[in-house]
Amino acid sequence: MISDSYFEGFRVLVTGASGGIGAALVKELLNQGARVGIHYNRHKPSIDEMVADTKADPDKNLCLLKADLRNMDETEGLFNSFIAWAGSVDGLVNNAGDVHVRKHFLEIDAMDIEADLALNLKAPFWLSRLAIKDMEKNGTKGSIVNISSIAAKFGGSPHTLFYGLAKSALETMTFSLGRYCAPMGIRINALRLGVFDTPFHKRHVKDLSERIQMIPAKRMGIPEEAVWWIMSLLSRKSAYMNGQVVSLTGGE
């Protein structure tokens, strides 16, 4: 794992941090001395589990923040609560994402479409916009990392069409915001993930063994592999990388 004193006191908001890659990322950030806003919606994480085997002070290094990111008022409230706690923002990881409901595109309704777009595209945009404003105001040369999906490349399945569409748009947003923010020293990059050993894929992929055989590496990724790349993109060691999408997909 990357070791970088840059993360000591680093103020970062991580969405979708109650499990899987988000929880693994929080633990690594805490272990390196960061101050972390831990967003969740339905499943409140355990503070004791989050700080276990780290040097984190629960009263200083972490803040639990609940919000439904499909609601733009709650999304903005999440960011404002983080700023009230941390004072400013150095990093944002737009990790939260899900398929609202698995329906064939011929059966999906307007509410389902809106829910997929709100969580996977609108919320990351709104949080990024708020973070950029804060970073620009404070002269912070911060970093935003958007978590995309291989669905952006292949379009998802007929049952996850709008999830894939939202992730594709998220990557386009990354290109655009990266170019805009580069003169300010603010970086926006994306990490496109393939199939990972997380609750998300276990919940949404009917036959994981069949899906794994489609991956050239013949295995799923593990959260720690994604965390390494997220930490790298957040770090000043990637100071010249902006507006890029990194694929971590086992060769797909």
Taking only the tens of pLDDT, the chain with its 252 residues reads 555 678 999 999 999 999 999 999 999 999 999 999 999 998 898 888 888 888 888 889 999 999 999 999 999 999 999 999 999 999 999 999 988 777 888 888 898 899 999 999 999 999 999 999 999 999 999 999 999 999 999 988 888 899 999 999 999 999 999 999 999 999 999 999 999 988 776 676 667 888 899 899 999 999 999 999 999 999 999 999 999 999 999 999
pTM for the structure as a whole: 0.94
Q: What is the pLDDT of residue 199?
A: 74
Contact 53, 41 (CB under 8 A): no
Looking at the annotation, which residues are catalytic?
163, 167
Hunting for tokens 């700080």 — which residue is that? 51
Number of compact structural domains in the chain:
1
- 18 closest CA partner among 128, 79, 96, 98: 96
- Give the CATH number for residue 47: 3.40.50.720
Residues in Cβ contact with 198 at an 8 Å cutoff, skipping those fewer than 6 apart: 19, 20, 21, 223
- 188 closest CA partner among 196, 176, 202, 178: 178
C-alpha to C-alpha distance for 104 and 151, rounded to whole angstroms: 15
Paired tokens of 76: 């903005």
Range of the domain at 179: 5-248
